[in-house]
Amino acid sequence: KRGRSKVKCEGLVTKQKKNRRVKANDRERNRMHNLNSALDALRSVLPTFPDDAKLTKIETLRFAHNYIWALTETLRMADQCRLIPNHHEDRESFFHIPSSCMMDLASPTSVCSSEWDSSTYSPSSHDADGHSPDILVEEGFSCYSIVYTVYLYIIFYQSYF
DNA sequence: TAGGCCATCTGGTCCT
DNA sequence: AGGACCAGATGGCCTA
């Protein structure tokens, strides 16, 4: 009788384990879907050309990093000059990013490598004045939080213009 | 066909 | 104990 109950117990444990695994898989799938949604939101605020293929995940993150840097630099320059025109049309031309710069921003793959190496192709993390436009990501932030934070940063900067 | 990208599964670790 | 997060493994799809 004890043997049978042991087998029954083992079967129950196996079933419980299987059930937990299925639930964990489901949560993991959900988590990745959320992460992808955050990446999509981030893509949506990045400037792209109509015929551009969808940016890959790593391209999206690199592009966002460069884009934030470009916007930060633009703000800094505008602040330095204190010549921001009031008319909307003028503001647009004032903040026009040179095409050479856009090419670089729009083609992250042109400077792509398998590793994140900010020294080679990402903007310097500190400008001439020692200001750091880097995104403040505290230790312990999840991937989702980081992507979403980048997204919010871009929205914030874009609202400036 | 090789290589890149992606989704999913899985086991481990940490936290509540 | 259960959930969140992460990294490694695997297989599918697509493109040069």
pLDDT per position as a tens digit, A62-111: 888 888 888 888 888 877 776 555 555 554 444 444 443 333 333 333 33
Q: Which two tokens stand for residue A95?
A: 């903040």
The DSSP call for residue A87 is S
Nucleotides of C under 7 A from a protein CB: 2-7
Estimate to the nearest angstrom the gap between the alpha carbon of A74 and the chain centroid: 20
C-alpha span between A147 and A61 (Å, rounded): 8
Task: Determine if strand C comes within 7 Å of the CB of A24.
Answer: yes
Is A146 exposed, middle or buried (CB count within 10 Å of its CB: 0-12, 13-18, 19+)?
middle
Task: Determine if strand C comes within 7 Å of the CB of A29.
Answer: no
Q: What percent of chain A has pLDDT over 90?
A: 0
Query: For chain A, what percentages of helix, strand and coil (3-state, to nearest 5) are there?
Result: 70, 0, 30
pLDDT at A105: 38
Among the residue ranges A13-17, A115-119, A147-151, the one predicted with the least confidence is A115-119
* pTM, entire model: 0.62
pLDDT at residue A138 tops 80 = no
Contact A146/A87 with Cβ under 8 angstroms?
no
Task: Determine if strand B comes within 7 Å of the CB of A132.
Answer: no
pLDDT at A46: 87
